[in-house]
Chain A
Amino acid sequence: MKNSIRWIFPFMVLFLMTGAMPREEAIVADEQLRVITNGGDKVMTFKSLKKIMRGEKQRWSDGKKVTIALLKTNTGVGELTAKKVYGMSPGQLNKYWLGLVFQGRAEAPHFFISEELLILYVNSTPGAIGIISTDPDSSDNLATVDGKKVF
């Protein structure tokens, strides 16, 4: 037992020292976000938006399947979405979805590299919901969050 305790100390030191290593600074664009949906609920609270975007709601109230569309987390808007909507860093958001999909408890979101592609996808997919920053050409699919079109 004494022998084993001797080896615990180097690890205890490592355990205490690891706090000194800095994490990469997150760069978040100073932009506002908008929610677009194809069908589904057009009026929602921020709390219900978070629930939907976390994959906690599988169906809209009309029975359509909820399909989540996000910008990749290495884009400015994707990073902002992670921070504002999920309360996570981009890495945490990706890990969150990896874990959830692996558990079989949710279907993975669709990630896009541009807002144009995301809007195109949402417009052509019944039940889809996406988050963008630009004002879409048509406001038909724009949802209000806590009574606001942008947040």
Chain B
Amino acid sequence: MKRLIPIYFLLFCATGTTMGQGLLDDTQIRGFVHFDSYYDYENKKASFGVGEQDLFITSTVSDKVSFLGESVFKYSGVFQASIERIVIKYNVKGNHNLLFGKHHTPVNYWNDTYHHGRVLFPTIDRPKFFEAALFPIHTVGASIQGQNLGELNFGYDFMIGNGLSAGDNAVDDNRLKSVTAAIHVKPKYGMRIGLSAYYDHISVPFSNLTKHGPVIVSALDTITYDVHQLVYTASFAYFGSNYELLSEGTLSRNSSEFDQGAISTSFYVYFGYRIKDCKWVPYTRFDYINFDEDDNYYTINDVTGIVFGTRYEHNYRTAIKFEYQFADYQTTGVSNVLKTQIAIGF
């Protein structure tokens, strides 16, 4: 902790020297909303759904300091509000920044790039591995970030945080910090290749585990011992003027003092084709998740899924998507859904 004091002191001094320059009015409020309708062939039922409303605020506080806040309001049984991000950014030098707050854990492309921005999503829903909680969505902590360095536009993120079992609490539930290390290169415009590793010591009780999506890890009910989680990811993204290709893979290892460790894997591949002189982008995505049967932490539910759809980009703030979604779940069986979505950015 003593080692961190000079950093906080420097931050304090730097903000002091640049305050009062009339930049506080440089604040923007933007947001995303979406509306879904779908037909479930298994239940032979059509439904409408109000999506979440995402509000994000960006503010230039001073020459060196900026702020980004993001809150989501949604209906999930009851209306809920959540703070998704609070990030205070301090520019150290050039393209190197220190970030403090609640972040999207920079473990993969989708989480870092789209998250709640449905109008930016290439498909209606997130890939299946989000549902399975295979990686940490958020981290409360501090990070150092560099981007667009050198000819290859190299970027890095190194983050320490409270970890999954602390949830959003200000006080960590154990002495060990979660650690995220991610690197990427952007060798040409529209292309990004990334790798990341995440380590966390998840300690009992698991009542604070960050819940995100419909699936809650089975550990909540069954595990009475600490889990060491190690997650590796790799991603390739290319969004060119015609072709769009996005693929990400995750390898997750959970271990404890009582077992040798279990490895679960997942990946998805998205391909879209932007037809020349057209606002339509037909696309497809394949999802695959394979859990290790010996994994006591995750809810074991292997999934194979595919979507076919088309996206109509009315303008940069409005996207309408039509999709057929097929998924075969190990525990709940087959799911067949026709879905449409109107997503707005404002």
Task: Give A contacts to B, CB under 8 Å.
Answer: 1, 3-4, 7-8, 10-12, 14-16, 18-19, 21-24, 51, 54, 56-59, 63, 65, 87, 91-92, 94-95, 98-99, 101-105, 107-108
Contacts and interface: CB of A to CB of B under 8 A. Distances in A.
A59 B343 CA distance: 34
Majority secondary structure, A binding face: helix
Nearest to A18: B280
Interface string B308-346: 111011011100001110100000001010100000010
Contacts, number: 111
B286 interface: no
A65 B326 CA distance: 48
B113 interface: yes
A8 B326 CA distance: 9
Interface stretch (B88-96, B220-228, B244-252, B253-261): B88-96
Contacts of A15: 282, 284, 308-310
Given A59-B95, A92-B316, A98-B120, A4 B41 contact: yes
Contact of B278 (A18, A91, A92, A99): A18
12 contacts: A14-B310, A15-B310, A18-B278, A21-B280, A23-B279, A56-B95, A65-B91, A98-B30, A98-B120, A99-B120, A104-B68, A108-B58
Interface of B: 28, 30, 41, 56, 58, 60, 63-64, 66, 68, 85, 87, 89, 91, 93-95, 97, 99, 112-113, 115, 117, 119-120, 147-148, 153, 189, 275, 277-280, 282, 284, 308-310, 312-313, 315-317, 322-324, 326, 334, 336, 338, 345
A118 to B, nearest CB: 16
Contacts of B275: 18-19
Secondary structure dominating the interface of B: strand
A7 B280 contact: no
B95 A57 contact: yes
Given A8-B324, A15-B284, 14 more contacts: A4-B336, A7-B324, A10-B324, A12-B308, A14-B310, A21-B280, A57-B148, A59-B93, A65-B63, A92-B316, A99-B117, A99-B120, A107-B58, A108-B28
B117 A102 contact: yes
Contacts of B112: 103
B259 to A, nearest CB: 36
A99 B277 contact: no
Nearest to A15: B282
